[in-house]
Amino acid sequence: MPARVWERNMRKLLAGLAAGLCLLLGAAQADAQSRWATQGVRIATEGAYAPWNFSKPDGSLDGFEVELHRELCRRMGVRCTIVAQDWDGIIPSLNAGRYDAIMAGMNITPRRLEAISFSRPYASGPGGFGVPKDSPLARMAGTGSRINLDTQAPEARAAFEALRAAVRGRTIGVQGSTTHANLVNEHFKDVATIREYRTTEQHDLDLQNGRIDAIWAAHSAMSATFAQPGFEGFVIVGPGFSGGVLGAGVAVGVRKADNDLREMFSKAIGEALADGTVRTLSLKWFNNVDLSPQQ
């Protein structure tokens, strides 16, 4: 067979295989959407992490992620139900089949990836210290700056050295079983007393009542708290840290076996980021701060 004829036939064969693969992938995606559209998707959120998610006095759920879940499910064409779940059991309960996904301000981390899978991120923001305005800690160095633990290692080391000196002998509150708790214990446990709480609401109240000297949490959550009546005397101080142990962004968690659902969420998130929906919701819930991750 002449070389030109062979090359032409091979191109036709490869084009046919590619077309067939596209058809198969399209059919698989349609089957996945049909499956979840039929059975519905149950989503867990903490319900105690305002303004990401919280429970209203009547028991209903609200917040950034509660509103975002409606938008994502509409784009996916599936019926969703959102339920409250205590943070400390949220991943085991997902894998036990109590629900199908998690939207609870959960950052992607290597440790969590050992247990579950994640969609693409829908939000990203720094974490750091919150303290009383009249505390000596309010003069922490680096306030207003941002440090990425993945790309600014020298700056991070210098910042933590200064922060360790500032909080020596103090008591720091942090929500337990979180990336924030991991960071605080790694960098401050030997110089300060670390008090872990089940919810951020609990450490906010202890800070307000003077039972602890500082809290470490997401800037987004602290900004919302400090804007509430009774918290006018508190402020975010020191650098805002992201990356590293704090994770690669907030995303939807799903069981490892549910790759189809993960991809459906990722596609919907991509669309919501592209058309500005995530930005609009972020500005609404986080005091005009856009937590949309960089695309």
Give pTM, 2 decimals.
0.79
Number of H helices, E strands in the chain: 10, 14
In a domain, residue 292? The reply is no
SS (H, E, C) 142-208: CCCCEEECCCCHHHHHHHHHHHHHHHCCCEEEEECCCHHHHHHHHHHCCCCEEEEECCHHHHHHHHH
The mean pLDDT value for 8-28 works out to 55
The mean pLDDT value for 145-159 works out to 95
Summarize pLDDT for 71-127 with one digit per residue, the tens: 999 999 999 999 999 999 999 999 999 999 999 999 999 999 999 999 999 999 999
Summarize pLDDT for 169-212 with one digit per residue, the tens: 999 999 999 999 999 999 999 999 999 999 999 999 999 999 99
Q: Which of 8-22, 131-145, 172-186 has the lowest mean pLDDT?
A: 8-22
**What beta strand segments (E) does the chain contain?**
41-45, 48-49, 53-55, 61-62, 80-84, 101-102, 117-118, 127-132, 146-148, 171-175, 193-197, 214-218, 234-242, 253-254
Which tokens hold the place of 146? 């941002």
| Residue 216 and residue 272 in one domain | no
In a domain, residue 203? The reply is yes
In a domain, residue 265? The reply is yes
Which structural domain range is residue 72 located in? 38-124+249-285
| Residue 70 and residue 150 in one domain | no
In a domain, residue 270? The reply is yes
In a domain, residue 20? The reply is no
pLDDT at 167 over 90: yes
pLDDT at 130 over 60: yes
User: Whole-number mean pLDDT of the chain?
Assistant: 91
| Residue 55 and residue 148 in one domain | no
Summarize pLDDT for 219-233 with one digit per residue, the tens: 999 999 999 999 999
| Residue 140 and residue 206 in one domain | yes
